[in-house]
Amino acid sequence: MLHPLSPRSKSNAAHPLLRTLFAALVVALCLCATAATDPAARFNDLGHRMMCTCGCSQVLLECNHVGCTVSGGMRNELSQQIASGQNDSLILQSFVQEYGATVLAAPTLHGLDLLAWIMPFAVSLLALGGTIYLVRHWARQQPATAPLRTPEEARAFEAMRERIRRETQEDIQP
Amino acid sequence: MAAFGSFALLIALILAVYNLFAGGVGLRLQAVGGGASRIAPERLLETARRAGIAGFVAVTAAAFALVWSVFHNDFSLEYIVEHSNIALPTAYKFAALWSGQEGSLLLWCWLLATYGFVLRLTDSEDKRLHAYAGTILAGVQVFFLVLVNFVAMPFSLVRGGVAPPDGNGLNPLLQYPEMVIHPPMLYLGYVGFTVPFAFALGALMMRYPGEKWIHITRRWTMFTWMFLTIGIFLGMHWAYAVLGWGGYWGWDPVENASLMPWLTGTAFLHSVMMQEKRGMMKSWNVWLIFSTFMLSILGTLLTRGGLVSSVHAFAQSSIGTWFVVFLGIILAVCAFTYILQRDHLKSEYQIESLVSRESSFLFNNLVLLAACFTILWGTLYPVLSEYVDGTKKTVSGAYYSHVMVPIGVFLLLLTGVGPLLAWRSSSLKSIRRNFLWPTIAFWIALLACVLGGARVWGDEGVFYAAVTWSLGAAVATAILSEFFRGASVLHRQTGKNLAASAILLTRRNTRRYGGYIVHLGVVLIFLGFAGYAFNRSAEKEMPPGSSISVGPYTLVNIGNTEDSNANYDTEFSQLDVYQHGKKILDRPMAPEKRVYLVNGQPQTIVANHSTLLWDLYVVYEGKNPNTGMPIIKVFLNPLVSWIWIGLAVTVFGTLLALVPTLQLARVTVPAVVAPDASALEGHATAGGD
């Protein structure tokens, strides 16, 4: 996996940033799209990608309200659809049609919803790139160390260095 | 008591308004040199200060009146009817104060008045800066007092004027011991951020010379940050113990609202060091503390204004417009002051190298703000999607676990890297020296995870858990090696043993080593969080005599019982716990489901057997309506205890960092100079005159 902080940018900062952004998106999309295969795992996976619609705002498989009349029915429906051999995407679509878009626990990877996934990574990477650029800009702006002009200045500088060394040792700043 | 409370609140409002205007006029006169005016600015400011102190007394009287009314079952007050009842246990009567909109706003006013009281009594440090801060605080207080006086009145009488014989009772979810301390802690944090905000804005308004205000602000921020941290974690523990879904953080808007100011507050506590040490990042720091305060107000707006729905917004209403206006005013005042005084915030130095302590603070800030933005974005996305395409979307833990975990892992990395870098610039040699052992610890821990059977490449959660533990090992090694290095030097200097040297070292620089202990606490917390990837659970209908197994444990149902008292009906199962065929608990675990008589609302009481390795967490889910038998769900949650241990370590570290550093005594020894005979003679002659 390409780490967002990989020190690739030597000459041009824009291309590595774009590459990193793209890689992060691919990783994010792959992670989101990971699908289980056996029915129990699929039930667990899909059950955690949907919300109970009783108003408890809990994930379907985590709704534990006494006498919740909704989650039991939804779980049965999910089991039946998995048993009938439908794929994950169709199952989720059928639930959206029946219960509305709020049944999905997270935004999808289509249309406006894609923005929900992209924004955090895009903003983070832009800020990261901006910060690196800014720090490098500041570092370039630093004036070269001026030579000490007089012997008095040199002596004062040495005295200061000695004082700093002594005081930092007292404070145990290794 | 209703009349007394209402009157006290009105008096408090008048005093706060006076404090604001007298303070404002006094400061203005002082600024323009108004010595010739009829009233001396100093006297005006003193009256403003005293009005603030008297305001504290008035708000305290109002809060007392509400508590008194709860304890005396005064059902002539609508608030008491809605949030209490006769059978409510005494401890929870206190909780009624913050269980509803009106009461929690009164609590906000009271805490703000208390902070203001302390601030005004300790103004000897810098009278003028305290006068500015006190006046700004009064401005905030006026807003909240207007709310409790005219919008959300805690002392309004029941409609029709006839008091009912009993109240509707407290929300069952709040009837839990932690709920008596969690909200006050959280509010101490939220409200507390008003103080550093007031100092920062005041210092900017008066163009405060030097960095002293930063020291004062930092102390207040650490103090309130600690309370907010405790409040957030108590909330997590409450959710874990009461909601019964096996987790402690659900990314609910209310939870998110508390985390956002915590993140910016944490960023401020780090970046402020750059200002103290090197005079850098002044504008950034001012805006961080402004943002922290504004986010605490925004959080209140989000959860109370009905903008986003929350599973535990206990006090939602249409009060949001007031908060929008207030937030707008704050933003305008901050922006105007900043634009006017921005030349005062020019940095004295700039970052010199990408590999330096300053850079690590900057990246730390970046990650914390990225986390804050992500949470805000996720919280507001349902509103945005509804506005754009007319469909309200859900953004739950499934979303946050994908976007927040990488950010959290990166933050953990920076927790370890930052302290190992030197100020200004780090040499390659020092980097090699400082990073050697943490890097070795990282790879050993990762290898141990892989050899221990963690399917690092097969499962996203396991991958992040392994990386988190490995980074945790690296960060802990880095911190402990810092202690070891410092203690070794002291050991050589003083001859004390290493443990005593480490204690002395910490006392000599409490801020630095207290900070390291906080980082150690964070590592422990992340250790616990990562355990979530390995949670296991089983669910079963359990007639007496049946058993259920999860991990190494087998639970056998020895009986189902029902009981009742004046407050609630309860039903629970008693389960003996066996590990490898041996009974491990003397008393059976008893997960419980209560139904409160006064309002018919249910509540889960989880039975939890906690060890350092994992929690055996048992939930009574209710009875199967067809068979009448209880359904029991058992979770095995690894490493959860480390989250609470990590909190204790973090709080300890914060307290330590607040303790003044041990000052080394400097003994001045007079130099022994050989007497100069001629000088002595001269002196004797002079004395003779």
| Vertex B18: Cα angle to B12 and B21 (nearest 5) | 140
Beta strands in B473-601 (DSSP E): 536-541, 547-550, 553-564, 568-579, 582-583, 592-596
Q: Does residue A69 sit in the same domain as residue A30?
A: yes
In a domain, A66, yes or no: yes
**Length in residues, chain A:** 174
Which range has the worst mean pLDDT, A145-159, B185-199, B633-647? A145-159
In a domain, A64, yes or no: yes
In a domain, A135, yes or no: no
Q: Is the ipTM of this complex over 0.85?
A: no
Q: Which of chain A's residues have a Cβ under 8 Å away from the Cβ of B310?
A: 57
Burial B529-557 (b: 16+ CB within 10 A, else e): bbbbbbbebebbebeeeeebebbebbbbb
Q: Least CA distance to B464: which residue of chain A?
A: A31
Strand partners, B537: B635
Burial B453-488 (b: 16+ CB within 10 A, else e): ebeeeeebebbbbbbbbbbbbbbbbbbbbbbbebbb
pLDDT band at residue B356, thresholds of 50, 70 and 90?
Answer: confident
Q: Least CA distance to B250: which residue of chain A?
A: A58
Q: Does residue A120 sit in the same domain as residue A163?
A: no
- Tell the residue number behind the tokens 């915030």, with chain if given: B345
Q: Could A117 and B402 be called an inter-chain contact, meaning their C-beta atoms sit closer than 8 Å?
A: yes
Rounded to an integer, what distance in angstroms lies between the CA atom of residue A161 and that of residue A95?
72
Q: Does residue A118 sit in the same domain as residue A170?
A: no
Name which of B370, B377, B505 is nearest A172 (Cβ-Cβ): B505
Q: Which of chain B's residues have a Cβ under 8 Å away from the Cβ of A62?
A: 245-247
In a domain, A6, yes or no: no
Which range has the worst mean pLDDT, A98-107, B351-360, B617-626? B351-360
pTM: 0.85
Kindly state the tokens that stand for A3: 């780490």
Rounded to an integer, what distance in angstroms lies between the CA atom of residue B242 and that of residue B601?
14
Q: Quick one: pLDDT at residue B108?
A: 93
Q: Which residue has the higher pLDDT, B315 or B197?
A: B197
Query: Chain B neighbours among A 33-62 (CB < 8 Å)?
Result: 34, 48-49, 51, 56-59, 62
Phi-psi region at B566: left, alpha or beta (left = phi > 0; alpha = psi -120 to 50)? alpha
Strand partners, B603: B594
Pairing mode, strands B568-579 and B553-564: antiparallel
- Tell me: pLDDT of B643 over 90: yes
Burial B50-80 (b: 16+ CB within 10 A, else e): ebbbbbbebbbbbbebbbebbeebbbbbbbb
By percentage, how much of chain B surpasses pLDDT 90?
50
What is the average per-residue pLDDT within B621-627?
83
Q: Does residue A155 sit in the same domain as residue A105?
A: no
B549 SS3 class: strand
In a domain, A4, yes or no: no
pLDDT band at residue B389, thresholds of 50, 70 and 90?
Answer: confident
Test the B interface: residue of A57, A128, A132 with most B CBs within 10 Å: A57
Q: Does residue A22 sit in the same domain as residue A104?
A: yes
* Minimum distance, in Å, between the CA of residue B578 and any CA atom of chain A: 25
Q: Does residue A100 sit in the same domain as residue A159?
A: no
Query: Chain B neighbours among A 120-139 (CB < 8 Å)?
Result: 120-121, 123-124, 127-128, 131-132, 135-136, 138-139
Q: Could A116 and B366 be called an inter-chain contact, meaning their C-beta atoms sit closer than 8 Å?
A: no
Q: Could A135 and B392 be called an inter-chain contact, meaning their C-beta atoms sit closer than 8 Å?
A: no
Contact at 8 Å (CB) between B466 and B449?
Answer: yes
Q: Does residue A116 sit in the same domain as residue A60?
A: yes
pLDDT band at residue B657, thresholds of 50, 70 and 90?
Answer: very high
Rounded to an integer, what distance in angstroms lies between the CA atom of residue B45 and that of residue B48?
5
**Length in residues, chain B:** 689
Which range has the worst mean pLDDT, A11-15, A101-105, B171-175? A11-15
Q: Quick one: pLDDT at residue B273?
A: 85
Name which of A34, A67, A170 is nearest B664 (Cβ-Cβ): A170
Q: Could B247 and A34 be called an inter-chain contact, meaning their C-beta atoms sit closer than 8 Å?
A: no
Contact at 8 Å (CB) between B166 and B86?
Answer: yes
Rounded to an integer, what distance in angstroms lies between the CA atom of residue A52 and that of residue A64?
10
In a domain, A7, yes or no: no
Name which of B247, B366, B604 is nearest A127 (Cβ-Cβ): B366
Look at residues B69, B53, B71, B52 and name the one whose alpha carbon lies nearest to residue B154: B69
Rounded to an integer, what distance in angstroms lies between the CA atom of residue B622 and that of residue B631?
6
Contact at 8 Å (CB) between B326 and B305?
Answer: no
- Tell me: pLDDT of B314 over 70: no
- Tell me: pLDDT of B662 over 70: yes
Range from A12-16, A75-79, B370-374 that averages highest in pLDDT? B370-374
Q: What is the DSSP string of B150-217?
A: IIS-TTPBPTTSPPPSS-----GGG-SGGGGTHHHHHHHHHHHTHHHHHHHHHHHHTT--SSHHHHHH
Q: Could B402 and A102 be called an inter-chain contact, meaning their C-beta atoms sit closer than 8 Å?
A: no
Q: Does A9 touch chain B (CB under 8 A)?
A: no
- Tell me: pLDDT of B353 over 90: no
In a domain, A140, yes or no: no
Phi, psi dihedrals of residue B628, rounded to the nearest 5°: 75, 10
Q: Does residue A156 sit in the same domain as residue A81?
A: no
- Domain with A87 in it: 14-129
Strand partners, B619: B633
Q: Does residue A25 sit in the same domain as residue A99?
A: yes
Q: Least CA distance to B481: which residue of chain A?
A: A174
Contact at 8 Å (CB) between B305 and A51?
Answer: no
Q: Least CA distance to A28: which residue of chain B?
A: B402
Q: Does residue A29 sit in the same domain as residue A71?
A: yes
Q: Quick one: pLDDT at residue B683?
A: 44
What is the average per-residue pLDDT within B395-424?
87
In a domain, A134, yes or no: no
Q: Does residue A80 sit in the same domain as residue A161?
A: no
DSSP H or E run through B23: helix B2-31
Contact at 8 Å (CB) between B571 and B623?
Answer: yes
Which range has the worst mean pLDDT, A23-32, B258-267, B463-472, B547-556? A23-32
Name which of A56, A102, A119 is nearest B377 (Cβ-Cβ): A119
pLDDT band at residue B627, thresholds of 50, 70 and 90?
Answer: confident
**3-state secondary structure string, B384-402?**
HHHHHHCCCCCCCHHHHHH
Q: Does residue A98 sit in the same domain as residue A159?
A: no
What is the average per-residue pLDDT within B504-519?
92
Q: Quick one: pLDDT at residue B313?
A: 52
- Tell me: pLDDT of B148 over 90: yes
- Tell me: pLDDT of B682 over 90: no
Q: Could A135 and B359 be called an inter-chain contact, meaning their C-beta atoms sit closer than 8 Å?
A: yes
Q: Quick one: pLDDT at residue B32?
A: 81
Q: What is the dihedral of CA B265, B270, B272, B278, to 10 degrees?
A: -170
The number of domains in chain A is 2
**3-state secondary structure string, A13-75?**
CHHHHHHHHHHHHHHHHHHHHCCCCCHHHHHHHHHCCEECCCCCCCEHHHCCCCCCCCHHHHH
Look at residues B399, B295, B530, B270 and name the one whose alpha carbon lies nearest to residue A120: B399
